[in-house]
Structure 1
Amino acid sequence: MTWIHGDVKTHPFREAQYDVVASVATLHHLPDLDGAFARLAALTAPGGVVAVVGLARSSRPLDYALDVAGAVQHRRLARRFGLWEHSAPVVWPPPHTYAEVRRSAAHILPGSTWSRLAMWRYAVIWRKPV
């Protein structure tokens, strides 16, 4: 297994070569959501998988209800384990809503699955057709 680290937008990755292209807490740093999903898809080999875990902004009543549940969960975990401070850049609020991310994924990655996760996250999984 080879790990490659680089800017997904500019690094000269070879297209259609990677069995798994994963993005964790990255897409909210990229303003062009459709372009980001298209780039991840282009890097993925036929039969490969794009896996995205990201953050988005609430815009609908259900989003806000899940935010409350996430806040309760976050407070409980912080009490139990303490707060974790990270050095990563923070983009808050995220520029894209959950609805925008879901719509973009469905458009650029047809057949992808969408899941809303705990504590303000979402997941998009897509298998590139062979």
Structure 2
Amino acid sequence: MTDENRWNHNIHYHPLVLASVQDGARTALDVGCGEGMLTRALRRKVPEVVGLDLDEPSVELARGFKDDISYVVGDVLTHDFPAGFDFIASVATVHHMDAEAALTRLRTLLRPGGRLVIIGCARFEWRGLPFELAGVVAHRVYKRTRSHWEHPSPTVWPPPETYSGMRSLATRLLPGAKYRRHALWRYSLTWAKPN
């Protein structure tokens, strides 16, 4: 199946990530790249892209595309990158690690003036019931109109952090970050690091 024909709840938000890439970005990091679908799309916008994932079989699938992207098997919390990045994307990955440690590390890896975009999963809260119900409706509509693609990477469920917990962490660790709750059981965080 080609990238253009794939769809799932995470892929649904790739356009949001790609639209957030700032003009002039020269380097990008895709955290939790899996088999590289978003990484390849980022490469069409950014000259130097690194895809990072802990799951070696997924990274090997990504490397099979024979492009000029650097794929790394490693942990974003501990991997020794030679330099920072102008743009960092993370889709459905932050909930695989300690959220505070993840946000702190991503903040550190981002160059001044750079942009961070996270599409994340979080744990259900009753106050978010309208979003949950919207997710059910949206899921049913998409299920009838799209072919669902199941990625080969490992999953973590349920997420350890709640939606409000992620919003609070972002407010504290990424001042000025834009937090949005989305249907299809996702939130987004967008943050521009001050110069």
Cα distance per residue 1:26-54 (max 9 Å; x no partner): 00101x21111010000111111111111
Kindly, what percent of the aligned residue pairs are identical?
A: 43
User: 1:65-76 alignment to 2 at 5 Å?
Assistant: 65-76=130-141
C-alpha distance in 2 between matches for 1:56 and 1:112: 17
Q: For residue 14 of structure 1, report the CA deviation from its aligned partner.
A: 3.5
Normalising by structure 2, we get a TM-score of 0.62
Number of equivalent positions: 127
Distance 1:67 1:39 in 2: 30
* Correspondence for 1:40: 106
> Is residue 85 of structure 2 the alignment partner of residue 18 of structure 1?
yes
Who is 2:124 aligned against? 58
Q: Which runs of 5+ in 2 are unaligned?
A: 1-46, 53-74
Matched ranges for 1:88-99 at <5 A? 88-99=153-164
CA RMSD, Structure 1 to Structure 2 (Å) = 1.4
- 2:190 corresponds to: 125
Partner SS, residue 106 of structure 1 = helix
Distance in 2 (alpha carbons) for counterparts of 1:88 and 1:115: 25
CA displacement, residues 74-129 of structure 1 (integer Å, 9 cap, x when unaligned): 01111222433222222221111001100011111011110111200101011111
| Contiguous gaps of at least 5 residues in structure 1 | none
Tell me which stretches of 4 or more aligned residues in structure 1 moved more than 6 Å: none
Q: Give the C-alpha shift of residue 60 in structure 1.
A: 3.1
Which of residues 70, 77, 80 in structure 2 aligns to 1:9? 77
Q: Distance in 2 between matches of 1:114 and 1:101?
A: 9
Please state how far the C-alpha of 1:64 moved relative to its aligned partner. 1.6
